Structure 1
Amino acid sequence: MTDTEAATEWSLPDDLEDVRETLIEWYEADHREYPWRRTDEPYAILVSEVMSQQTQLDRVVDAWEEFLERWPTTADLAAADRADVVGFWTSHSLGYNNRAKYLHEAARQVEAGEVGPDRPREGGEAAKAGGEFPTTPDELQELMGVGPYTANAVASFAFNNGDAVVDTNVKRVCYRAFDVPDDDTVFEEAANELMPAGRSRVWNNAIMELGGVACGQTPRCDEAGCPWREWCGAYASGDFTAPDVPTQPSFDGSRRQFRGRVIATLREYDELEFDTLGHRIRVDYTPDGEYGREWLAGLLADLEDDGLVDVLERDGEPVARLHR
């Protein structure tokens, strides 16, 4: 049997309406209270989605609240200095600094009216008034750094206007409960068939909650009161294998850790010669060593390409400074 033939041999329960309502009732009765679940403001939801990429949700809460307190609207974020936004990202250990850069640029796009159905077209039509968020997954993907998953999540949670969200948790649930094959196209098909029409906001929250609380890598079916036990193939068989879950590379000693240290150091000193900067960001820096000028130059070149750092010369010596 070919992989394609195997991928077609799956089906959802006949009583699909009961499957849907049981999950929604379970979610609405009790779920984790994240603050972004209490809003439908698209900017706030976009910030939560970007922050949550490969970062534990419990760690995101404080950062999300502080970020929105500092930059409560797209207008505030668009007017901010990019180095300040990146500095915030670094100080809260939120992962790749590019995400901060892209979020900042996305706010500028919204304020400039560059996204959505009324954006300027060829032929000279004027831009719409700034501050209006795109509402559909396709329009949201016009925002810098927003891919299909994030666009669909924002459309769902802000506008109740998305398709099924398919993340690692959803794949695990579909694989275990309904024997959906480990195939991204089939996962997407199954997730969309499961979702009740017009209810993407509550449904996507509910099925991701199920994967996060009851159907994790170590399942907690009875303890968490999984609402799908009567339909679940894994619960019936006791076989809780699931697709491999990607692991995030270690942050300690990683290139992105040192990118963050460069930004944090230059925020404090503004401009530093290469060797001074190198000694400040790692204890084993030696100008001619493995982690020396060549290594630092490569790191700074990446940051310069991202528009975060400028590299120039002072008195014949290379120096780095935050982009102005």
Structure 2
Amino acid sequence: MSDADAEADGETGADAPADAFLPEDAHAVRDALVAWYEADHREFPWRRTDDPYEILVSEVMSQQTQLSRVVTAWEAFLERWPTTADLAAADRADVVGFWSDHSLGYNNRAKYLHEAAGQVESEYGGEFPESPDELSELMGVGPYTANAVASFAFNNGDAVVDTNVKRVLYRAFDVPDDDAAFERVAAELMPEGESRVWNNAIMELGGVACEKSPACDEAGCPWREWCHAYQTGDFTAPDVPTQPDFEGSRRQFRGRIVRLLGEHDEMDLDTLGHRIRVDYTPDGEHGREWLRGLLSDLADDGLVQVEEGDDQITARLQ
């Protein structure tokens, strides 16, 4: 539902309940994202562990460093200090020196990580706390990092809401640029008890398909069927203040096709063509052959079904 629809229902955009922004088939939205993530995603070693110490190290290292560079540093750090006991017993100067040598950002993060390891050993008997609130008591562990560790180590976190997730929600569901609204919608979307796979999946979506320059088709974004930005061609976002050029692009016309077919059970080829561009002529440059190419792309993406009869070609959403 758009902001205007929410307002018509007596709610302002920012104050609207979470489900006001989500499609009626929100369950299908959830299933599509999880299936997309589980079928193929970037392989990082910390995604193959549920050890909270290893995950905490990866989260702290990732705060200022590209993930591709974090892998080598993360593996070297854990080889040198494989447990919280090892890190707590280390000389702080050695830990800070490692951090600096690997260009991992502010050295105080190394100091805090060293102190957090000491807390785990001295205050928690070597066992990590499991809830976001408890994890936030560790030195240098803020709400985001605490929630990430709770999610990925214990499957016990809340919905992650970082810059990438805000961008995804803003574009996909037309959520207003309001922190409280983002948090409500993110929480509503996350399947109960599934924070590990869900937070990984939605961050992966923001990292490979819905970056500042979107790669919707290239990355096979699983939310194209519902995505407001994909249908309108407007890919602005809170961290993307200028609208990319799309006027006349194939993406623009694919969006128009999806939007129109969402309003009609089916449309024949020429009717659809005349509705999506004023200069459509069946045998012209932007005619049936051009339109069938767009429909073929959408069919390959699983969004549109094309049927060829004796007298006409019709298209409908899958």
TM-score past 0.5 threshold: yes
**Corresponding residue of 1:62:** 72
Matches within 5 A, 1:9-24: 9=16, 10-24=20-34
Task: Calculate percent identity across the aligned residue pairs.
Answer: 80
| Distance in 2 between residues matched to 1:12 and 1:194, nearest whole Å | 8
Instruction: Check if 1:74 corresponds to 2:81.
Output: no
Matches within 5 A, 1:226-237: 226-237=221-232
**Corresponding residue of 1:208:** 203
**Corresponding residue of 2:36:** 26
Select the residue among 103, 127, 152 that pairs with 2:147: 152
Instruction: Check if 1:8 corresponds to 2:15.
Output: yes
Contact 2:52 2:153 in 1 (8 A): yes
Report the TM-score, using the length of structure 2 for normalisation.
Answer: 0.70
Instruction: Check if 1:238 corresponds to 2:233.
Output: yes
Contact 2:163 2:239 in 1 (8 A): no
| Distance in 2 between residues matched to 1:146 and 1:189, nearest whole Å | 23
For residue 209 of structure 1, give the secondary structure of its aligned residue in structure 2: helix
Instruction: Check if 1:97 corresponds to 2:104.
Output: no
Residue 245 of structure 1 deviates from its aligned partner by: 6.4
For residue 221 of structure 2, give the secondary structure of its aligned residue in structure 1: coil
| Distance in 2 between residues matched to 1:76 and 1:151, nearest whole Å | 21
For residue 19 of structure 1, give the secondary structure of its aligned residue in structure 2: helix
**Corresponding residue of 1:39:** 49
| Distance in 1 between residues matched to 2:55 and 2:162, nearest whole Å | 17
Runs of 5+ consecutive residues of structure 2 not aligned to the other structure = 242-318
Instruction: Give the residue type in structure 2 aligned to 1:57.
Output: L
Residue 11 of structure 1 deviates from its aligned partner by: 1.4
| Distance in 1 between residues matched to 2:239 and 2:166, nearest whole Å | 10
Contact 2:167 2:239 in 1 (8 A): no
Instruction: Give the residue type in structure 2 aligned to 1:153.
Output: A
Task: Name the Cα RMSD after superposition.
Answer: 1.6
* CA deviation profile, 1:203-226 (whole Å, cap 9, x unmatched): 000000000000000000000000
Report the TM-score, using the length of structure 1 for normalisation.
Answer: 0.69
Contact 1:168 1:245 in 2 (8 A): no
